Amino acid sequence: MELTKTEEDYLKALFHLTEESEADKAGTNQLAEYLGISPASANNMLKKLKGKALVAYEKYGKLELTGQGKAVAVRLIRKHRLWETFLHQHMNFSWDEVHGVAEQLEHIQSPKLIAELDRFLGFPRRDPHGAVIPGADGEYDTPPKATLSSLQAGDACRLVAVDDSSEALLRYVSRIGLALNSRIQVEEIHEFDGSLSILVEGVLTMVSKQFADRVFVEKL
Amino acid sequence: MELTKTEEDYLKALFHLTEESEADKAGTNQLAEYLGISPASANNMLKKLKGKALVAYEKYGKLELTGQGKAVAVRLIRKHRLWETFLHQHMNFSWDEVHGVAEQLEHIQSPKLIAELDRFLGFPRRDPHGAVIPGADGEYDTPPKATLSSLQAGDACRLVAVDDSSEALLRYVSRIGLALNSRIQVEEIHEFDGSLSILVEGVLTMVSKQFADRVFVEKL
DNA sequence: TTAAAAAGTTAGCTTATTCTAACATTTGTG
DNA sequence: CACAAATGTTAGAATAAGCTAACTTTTTAA
Ligand SMILES: [Mn+2]
Ligand SMILES: [Mn+2]
Ligand SMILES: [Mn+2]
Ligand SMILES: [Mn+2]
C-alpha cells in the first residue's frame, strides 16, 4: 500500500506535533496551520488516513498516530536527516540550506539507496542540526535535551542541537559564531526579560530568551 | 512557471521520441505507448503543454518540442544521468538498478544540488551506460554512434555505450562479460539471421542481431 | 479510388488534493 | 448556566491526471 508524498508529509507533521512537541495533543487546526493548508483540507486527509489505519481519532476528538503511522513517520525522518547530512557534508550546503531539499529527497522510494547512503555517510547518529537520526530498525530514542535557557549564571555547556524549524534561527546561530559542539559560558541572566549574556570563543554576546529556548546544550 | 513531475516526464519522453530516435516523428499514440498511458490521456496533456508553449503541433499533426520544451528535457536528462552516475559510483548500484531510482531523483528541484553533484562526481561526461551527460549550459552533442551490428567480420572495437531502455539487456551485457570499454573482436557474421560470433576476453560468444543493434562501439 | 485500419480527439467519469463558505460541536468565561 | 469564541466538519467547486467508449481524421492498400 504505497503512500503518496502528501500522505507522508501529513504523517510526519502529525509525528512532530504529537510525539516531538511537549504539548502531545494535536488538533485539526493545528495540523492545518503547521502544513500551511486549510482546516477543511486537513480534515479531509485525516479521514483518509484513518481509513488506512495510520491515524486514530474520533470526530471532534484528539489526533493520534497508530503504530503503523508512527513507523512511517520515523522512516521518513530517518531519510530526511540522512539526506540533510549528505547535503551538508558532501554537497557544501550550509546549515540553513539543507532542509528544503531534504523535504523533497525524503520521498524517494528506495530502501537500498537509504541503506547505502547510511553506509556512505559512516552511519551518522546526528544530523547537521544535532537531531538524532532514527535507526534502520525504527529505533528512535530522543535523549532528554536541556535548553540554554535552563542554565544558571556561571554554568558552562556544549551546544548539542538547534531547533531546525526556522532557517533564520540557524543563520543567526552561525552569525554569532556558534556551531555544534561550541563551548558556551553563561555569564549572566537578566531577570527583566530572561535574556542571557554568554561567552562564545572569548566573545561576549547577548541573546534573547526566545533564542535560548531553541538551542539545546549539555552542561559541562 | 513550475512544471509538475508528470509534465516533466512527458517532455523527456517527447525528447527521446523526436530528438533521440532515428524516426524523428512522434505521434500521440506512440507517446502514450512509451509512457504506458492511454492515447486520450496523452492528448489531454499535449493540449496543456501546447498551451505552455513547450510542445508545438496542429490537431492531427506531428508532435514537436519547442526550444523551451527541449531545454527542459535536456536539463532533466542531465539530472537523470548525473544521478545514475552517483548511484553507480558511490551507492553500489549495478548497471541495471540505477534507472528506476534516477527516474525519481531527476525531479528534485535544486540547481545548487545538481551543480554540487556534478563537481562531486568530477564533472563526468558519460553516465554508467556510456550515454553523454548534457552540460550545465544545455549543450548536448550526441556523437555519432556505430552499432556492433554495423561491423564486418574481422573488425575489432571497443564498447562505448549500451541502450539503457531495457534492464534485461543491461544484465545480459554483464552476464556475457562485457562492460564499458571492453574490447570486442568480431569473428564471424552469420548471414541467415545476422547473428555474430564475437570474442570477448578470449571467450567466443554468439550474440543475436537484436543484441548487436543495441550495443554501441568505436571501431579500433 | 474507395473502404478498412490506424491514429488522434472528444465526452464524460474517477481519484487525489486543495479551497471557501456554511454549519456543528466543544470550550471557556462571565 | 449561557453564550461567544475556538475548533472541527460538511458541502460544493476547482485543478491535475488518468481511464473508457465513442467519434473523426488520416493513412494504407486493395
Ligand atoms: Mn530538517
Ligand atoms: Mn516532504
Ligand atoms: Mn537511465
Ligand atoms: Mn521521471
> Are A135 and A173 within one domain?
no
Task: Average the pLDDT over each of A77-86, A143-152, B61-70 and give the range with the smallest value.
Answer: A143-152
Residue B100's CATH number: 1.10.10.10
* Domain region containing B24: 5-65
Task: Average the pLDDT over each of A18-27, B68-77, B108-117, B207-216 and give the range with the smallest value.
Answer: A18-27
Give me the pLDDT at residue A193, please. 85
> Are B131 and B150 within one domain?
no
Is B90 part of the contact surface with chain A (CB cutoff 8 Å)? yes
**Mean predicted confidence (pLDDT) in A119-144:** 95
* Residue B106 maps to a domain: yes
Q: Which residues contact A137 (CB under 8 A, 6 or more apart)?
A: none
> Are B129 and B153 within one domain?
no
- pLDDT-based confidence at residue A24 (cuts at 50, 70, 90): confident
Give me the pLDDT at residue B13, please. 98
The answer on pLDDT for B1 being more than 90 is no
- pLDDT-based confidence at residue B20 (cuts at 50, 70, 90): confident
The answer on pLDDT for B23 being more than 80 is no
Contacts of B118 in chain A (CB under 8 A): none
> Are B136 and B88 within one domain?
yes
Give me the pLDDT at residue B120, please. 98
The answer on pLDDT for A32 being more than 90 is yes
**Rounded CA separation A105/A84 (Å):** 9
**Mean predicted confidence (pLDDT) in B3-24:** 93
> Are B176 and B212 within one domain?
yes
pTM: 0.93
> Are B173 and B208 within one domain?
yes
**Residue B71 corresponds to which amino acid?**
A
Residue that is last in its domain, among A97, A123, A142: A142
Tell me the three state secondary structure of residue A164: coil
Q: Which residues contact B108 (CB under 8 A, 6 or more apart)?
A: A101, A104, A105, B79
> Are A132 and A169 within one domain?
no
B130-154: b (≥16 Cβ within 10 Å) or e = bbbbbeeeeebeeeebeebbebeee
- pLDDT-based confidence at residue A68 (cuts at 50, 70, 90): very high
- pLDDT-based confidence at residue B143 (cuts at 50, 70, 90): confident
- Alpha carbon distances (Å) from A146 to A66, A158, B146: 29, 11, 66
Question: Does an H or E element contain B161, and which?
Answer: strand B156-162
* Residue B179 maps to a domain: yes
Residue that is last in its domain, among A90, A110, A142: A142
> Are B90 and B136 within one domain?
yes
The residue among A4, A31, A29, A1 whose CA lies nearest residue A15 is A31
Distance in Å, CA B37 to ligand 4 centroid: 14
**Mean predicted confidence (pLDDT) in A163-168:** 89
Contacts of B109 in chain A (CB under 8 A): 104
Q: State which residues between 56 and 85 of chain A bring their CB within 7 Å of strand C.
A: 60
Site of grid cell 548525473: B82
Give me the pLDDT at residue A205, please. 92
* Residue A72 maps to a domain: no
Give me the pLDDT at residue B109, please. 97
* Residue A90 maps to a domain: yes
* Residue B72 maps to a domain: no
* Residue B41 maps to a domain: yes
> Are B133 and B155 within one domain?
no
- pLDDT-based confidence at residue B133 (cuts at 50, 70, 90): very high
Structural domains of chain B, count: 3
**Mean predicted confidence (pLDDT) in A111-129:** 98
> Are A12 and A58 within one domain?
yes
The residue among A78, A94, A69 whose CA lies nearest residue A15 is A69
**Rounded CA separation A122/B47 (Å):** 49
> Are A131 and A163 within one domain?
no
The answer on pLDDT for A42 being more than 90 is yes
pLDDT digits (tens, 9 = 90+) for B163-178: 988 899 999 999 999 9
Burial of A202 (0-12, 13-18, 19+ CB in 10 A): exposed
- pLDDT-based confidence at residue B157 (cuts at 50, 70, 90): very high
Give me the pLDDT at residue B24, please. 76
* Residue B162 maps to a domain: yes
Within a 13 Å sphere around the CA of B54, how many CA atoms are in the beta-carbon half? 24
Give me the pLDDT at residue A21, please. 82
Contacts of B105 in chain A (CB under 8 A): 108
**Mean predicted confidence (pLDDT) in A63-75:** 97
- Cα angle B158, B135, A117; round to 5: 80
* Residue A75 maps to a domain: no
Site of grid cell 531547533: A163
Distance A60 CA to C23 C1' (A): 14
Residue that is last in its domain, among A95, A111, A142: A142
> Are A151 and A131 within one domain?
no
**Rounded CA separation A209/A204 (Å):** 16
Question: In the complex, which nucleotide's C1' lies nearest to the CA atom of residue A38?
Answer: C19
Residue B180's CATH number: 2.30.30.90
